[in-house]
Amino acid sequence: MLARQFGQGLLVAAVAGLVMLAGLGRARLWDRDEPRNAGAAREMLQRGDWVVPTFNGQLRAHKPVLLYWCIMVAYQLLGVHELSARLPSALAAVFTVLCTWRMGRRLFGTTAGVWAGIILASSLLFVMAGRAATPDSLLILGTTLAMTCYVHGAFRPRFETTPPDTLPEWETPGAWFPQSLFPVVVLYAAMGLAVLAKGPVGYVLPMVVLGTFGLVLEVQRHLVACPVREEVWWQAAWHWLGAACQPRRVLRVFWQMRPVLGLFIVAAVALPWYLAVGFATHGEFLKVFFLEHHLGRATTVMEHHSGSLLFYPLAILVGFFPWSIFAIPLAIDTALQLTRRDRQHPGYLFAVCWILVYVVLFSLARTKLPSYVTPCYPALALLAGDYVDRWSRQAAAVAGRWLLAAFGCLALVGAALTVAIPLILREVAPGEEWLGLIGTIPLIGGVLCFVFAASRSFRSAAGMLGMAAVAFVALLFSVGAWRLDRHQQQHRLWQAVADRGHYAEVVSYRVLEPSWVFYWGRPIAEFGGGGGSAQLAGKFLHQRPERYLITTRDRVDELKPYLPPEVVVIEEVPYFMRGKQRLVLLGTAHPLVEVAQPHRPMAPAAPTPR
């Protein structure tokens, strides 16, 4: 049994490793968050400062320090480049997949756990988070690890001989929260890491999830002990809500979670750094971080990221692709499982509470981004993994024509991608239209799954779907992103500057991308669009010949009246993903021949696409 369990874990880890690590460092860092985070870690490492994050010489108070620490360690071990910047996120994603497998195994069965891990490892937005130098993957790991510790502390192990539809058993009958100290300590320590990864949401939202789950269980037990007469649905819902909102019951559930111990552990993990950065910046980091990037995002729309109440359901349909093809049958099946009177399955309730807390609370916030709800993707994978396991062995309540419709949707989406990708790349990356072949993977996979399901070969359909999903996301991010990146040509600007002088100083006028700062390896000041900026930029170039300025072609005319006569366009490249805009590098007409060893950009230039 241990050998089979080890084999299942190895399979899940191999799939996650393939998807997350294949070609991880081939593409350059994508603007804007990746170079900011990677650059902040490099600046901290150069200063020997493990407390205060800065980027481009300025305080970076957007995110806490955990990602920077991980990248700094990777830099020290592997060097400063794209792979080391993204590796912490990728490894965190692999561990998250393994945690999801362990939860699925204990809640729904051994095969369902394997499917949950594979589904999470091949869902679109989760893979994107795992392959990017952003803190999202670390936050997801912290949240999922906390939930895994809860499941392992609250429920008994499930073995290979346990029938797949057996209900999970509580570790301590009558107690929904773990009674052993060890899983509770690790649970709250994981929340502390999540707080270091992205702030208070790493503690507050998992607590709300667990509290909601415990409250629902308490209400169910109360209604079983004190049954009421049959009522219409709205009266029953009102009665249930009244039982859930009793302050005494809410406080009892909250106290069962050992909040004092939990708060102490979370504070022991996260508070020392928050205090240190507060003292080091005289409170400026804490002020900007909590008031602007937390309270501000909750109460106001920032950076034009708004949306309706349907924003996150629609975002999940896209972000959980290709497994979101089961959205409707999975929702119906889960609802049927929750309303069964003959067997109350806590696994479904736990996953649904996890999902709803994130979707509902972030839907109430004014600023909306698809990545905000990615910490609930492991719960989606748990439900989807159990559903795939059950319909593959013909035990699902909702299957039949629903499966055929889902596979038909997969084929239609694949056909749409096969047509749309070449049309988009014709404008963005000419010559890469062949990447539309990646869209044929869900197209062919959907057709074959449809054929298998129609002939009632459900296990073959499930296996084909899993292979198609893994192949699609792996090729999309490892090959597709790399080929698209080959059409970035900003490196020619840095090469032109590096060839001309060791002490070159670069600024920009009304345009600045974080990746420029990262790859140049030095701070880059920006002259904004206010009054007198063009005159100041011209004065900057006039003072010393070893100074250079980057701007767009359409803004050169604004600078011309203030430029010295010897300043010319040294290099001009397309502005990647910005239509027909072009970037220009302005500087003196003659190179600085007295400099023997010019400064070189920190990252090697990618080959120019043919």
Q: Are 120 and 15 in contact (CB under 8 A)?
A: no
Tell me what the mean pLDDT of segment 462-466 comes to.
Answer: 96
> Any residues with CB less than 8 A from the CB of 502 and at least 6 apart, and which?
595, 596, 597, 598, 599
| Whether the predicted pLDDT of 39 surpasses 70 | yes
Handedness of CA 495, 496, 499, 503 (dihedral sign): negative
More confident residue, 490 or 359: 359
Planar angle of CA 61, 65, 67, nearest 5 degrees: 115
Banded model confidence at residue 188, pLDDT cuts 50, 70, 90: very high
* Number of neighbouring beta carbons within 10 Å of residue 121: 32
Among 404, 384, 410, which Cα is nearest to 455's? 404
At 577 the pLDDT is 82
Banded model confidence at residue 240, pLDDT cuts 50, 70, 90: low
Q: Which two tokens stand for residue 434?
A: 């062949």
Q: Are 137 and 63 in contact (CB under 8 A)?
A: no
Q: Are 326 and 131 in contact (CB under 8 A)?
A: no
> Any residues with CB less than 8 A from the CB of 87 and at least 6 apart, and which?
24, 74, 78
Q: Kindly state the percentage of the chain with pLDDT values over 90.
A: 63
Helix (H, G, I), strand (E, B), or coil: what is residue 427?
helix
- The 10s digit of each residue's pLDDT in 513-553 is 999 999 988 899 898 866 678 888 888 888 777 789 999 99
Tell me what the mean pLDDT of segment 186-210 comes to.
Answer: 96
Alpha carbon distance 8, 6 (integer Å): 5
At 224 the pLDDT is 62
Handedness of CA 292, 294, 296, 302 (dihedral sign): positive
DSSP state of 171: S
Name the helix (H) or strand (E) containing 98: helix 82-107
| Whether the predicted pLDDT of 228 surpasses 60 | no
> Any residues with CB less than 8 A from the CB of 349 and at least 6 apart, and which?
213, 216, 217, 338
Banded model confidence at residue 427, pLDDT cuts 50, 70, 90: confident
Q: Which two tokens stand for residue 227?
A: 């049954």
Q: Which two tokens stand for residue 278?
A: 């507060």
Q: What is the mean pLDDT of the chain?
A: 89
Q: Which two tokens stand for residue 354?
A: 């996890």
Handedness of CA 563, 569, 571, 574 (dihedral sign): positive
| Whether the predicted pLDDT of 609 surpasses 50 | no
- The 10s digit of each residue's pLDDT in 546-581 is 789 999 998 998 888 888 888 899 999 999 888 888
At 591 the pLDDT is 54
Residue 342 amino acid letter: D
At 566 the pLDDT is 85
Among 338, 346, 326, which Cα is nearest to 408's? 326
Banded model confidence at residue 5, pLDDT cuts 50, 70, 90: confident
